[in-house]
């Protein structure tokens, strides 16, 4: 699909694509080994990205943002995925946290936090997952009780992207004493917590089998007091907000899946045409050609479906079930193609210095986070 141009791509988006591509290749790719070792991306990189306008592209100009839309975030995500592993947590910062504040926050909250998020001076995270509550969000046990003009939060969260470096964390909890005495006891409320609040602490960066540069941590809230003014949206309105935002979050995961699939195919084509086996290039072996033909077919179908979803979200009509289809199927394709590509690399495919090996390790969690793929199928099945 070398001559294929996505139907949603415009000249403006191409210009952004070029800026993002050059930035990631110049500033990120050379530092990936360092970031992988320390398990997080340095703060100065966030500031550099902010200066270039690569953070929070959907924020309107009135808050200091570029006034773009989700397509701008998609372009930035694609170029990050092409250049480096999914180590930088901008998709959560810009594609998730920003939109919660924009859509459900107060004007005071937008003015207080968004300008610094755009510049990279505040890094955002969202804390939903708990040790015993992942895809089953309603099973969370984290609590907050209201005392006057404050909430007192007690919760333990895990697998939190940007957890180690975040300055602002939107935490999902259940209220012990909601204002409405008849409120659903399982209802979820979203509260923004600044990282310098007493009672907030972080565990060490979690050591994962892949995505080593991705800042992933446990977060702890122990009698952490936060002003009621920090609540995002109404009491008990967290779950509907989470569900409303999920199609966008899952689309971003699907974007990563397709770009990594395309990149794996490209790397493997180059390798098999150069690598000689039994006196001729590996690519000339019929099995190799057939495997790559299958991978190319999957990659093309994946790209076309992804572009269908991107057009839909750009027009405000990407529904939850289609986003679930994209998330599970495209991540499944990613893992299948990468497995085939690693096999064609032979022993070298298992060596960390080869990008294909790192991509293989990075890919597996795509079928887990953002809602496990089994949950995606349940969402789809309910609409049939």
Query: With bands split at pLDDT 50, 70 and 90, how would you rate the model's confidence at 7?
Result: very high
Q: At 23, list the tokens.
A: 């930035």
Q: Distances from the Cα of 190 to the Cαs of 144, 251, 279, in angstroms?
A: 10, 22, 62
Report which secondary-structure segment, H or E, holds 174. Answer: strand 168-175
Please say whether the beta carbons of 345 and 359 come within 8 A.
Answer: no
Strand partners, 97: none
Nearest Cα neighbor of 323 from 229, 271, 241, 249 is 249
Kind of pairing between the strands at 150-161 and 216-227: antiparallel
287-346 pLDDT, tens digit per residue, is 999 999 999 999 999 999 999 999 999 999 999 999 999 999 999 999 999 999 999 999
Q: Mean pLDDT over residues 274-278, rounded?
A: 93
Average pLDDT in the 260-272 region? 97
Q: Which of 25, 249, 270, 378 is catalytic?
A: 249
Confidence of residue 283 (pLDDT cuts 50, 70, 90): very high
Helix (H) or strand (E) holding 232: strand 231-232
Is residue 218 part of the annotated active site? The answer reads no
Whole-prediction pTM value? 0.93
What's the mean pLDDT in 164-180? 94
Q: What is the pLDDT of residue 184?
A: 86
If we measure between CA atoms, which residue out of 305, 298, 325 comes closest to residue 381? 325
Confidence check: pLDDT of 136 > 90: no
Is the predicted pLDDT of residue 1 greater than 80, yes or no?
Answer: no
Give residues with Cβ within 8 angstroms of 276, minimum separation 6. 282
d(CA 284, CA 142): 57
Supply the pLDDT for residue 2: 64
């Amino acid at each position: 699909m070398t001559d294929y141009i996505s139907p949603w791509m415009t000249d403006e988006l191409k210009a952004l694509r070029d800026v993002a591509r050059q930035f990631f290749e110049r500033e990120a790719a050379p530092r990936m080994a360092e970031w992988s070792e320390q398990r997080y991306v340095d703060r100065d990189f966030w500031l550099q990205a902010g200066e270039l306008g690569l953070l929070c592209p959907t924020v309107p100009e009135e808050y200091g943002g570029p006034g773009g839309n989700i397509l701008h975030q998609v372009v930035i995500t694609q170029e990050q995925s092409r250049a480096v592993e999914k180590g930088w947590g901008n998709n959560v910062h810009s594609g998730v946290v920003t939109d919660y504040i924009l859509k459900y926050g107060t004007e005071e909250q937008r003015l207080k936090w968004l300008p610094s998020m755009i510049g990279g001076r505040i890094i955002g995270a969202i804390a939903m997952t708990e040790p015993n509550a992942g895809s089953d969000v309603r099973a969370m046990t984290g609590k907050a009780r209201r005392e006057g003009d404050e909430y007192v939060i007690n919760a333990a969260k895990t697998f939190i992207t940007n957890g180690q470096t975040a300055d602002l964390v939107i935490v999902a909890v259940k209220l012990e004493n909601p204002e409405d005495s008849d409120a659903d006891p399982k209802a979820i409320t979203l509260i923004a917590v600044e990282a310098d609040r007493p009672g907030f602490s972080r565990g060490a960066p979690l050591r994962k089998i892949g995505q080593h540069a991705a800042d992933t941590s446990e977060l702890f809230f122990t009698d952490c007091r936060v002003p009621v003014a920090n609540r995002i949206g109404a009491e008990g309105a967290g779950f509907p907000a989470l569900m409303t935002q999920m199609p966008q979050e899952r689309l971003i995961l699907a974007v990563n899946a397709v770009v990594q699939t395309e990149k794996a195919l490209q790397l493997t084509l180059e390798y098999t045409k150069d690598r000689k086996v039994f006196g001729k290039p590996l690519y000339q072996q019929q099995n190799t050609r057939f495997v790559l033909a299958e991978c190319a077919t999957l990659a093309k179908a994946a790209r076309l479906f992804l572009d269908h979803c991107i057009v839909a979200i750009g027009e405000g009509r990407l529904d939850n079930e289609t986003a679930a289809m994209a998330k599970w199927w495209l991540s499944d394709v990613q893992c299948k193609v990468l497995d085939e590509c690693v096999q064609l690399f032979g022993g070298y495919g298992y060596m960390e210095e080869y990008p294909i090996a790192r991509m293989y390790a990075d890919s597996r969690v795509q079928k887990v986070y953002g809602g496990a793929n089994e949950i995606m199928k349940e969402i789809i099945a309910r609409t049939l």
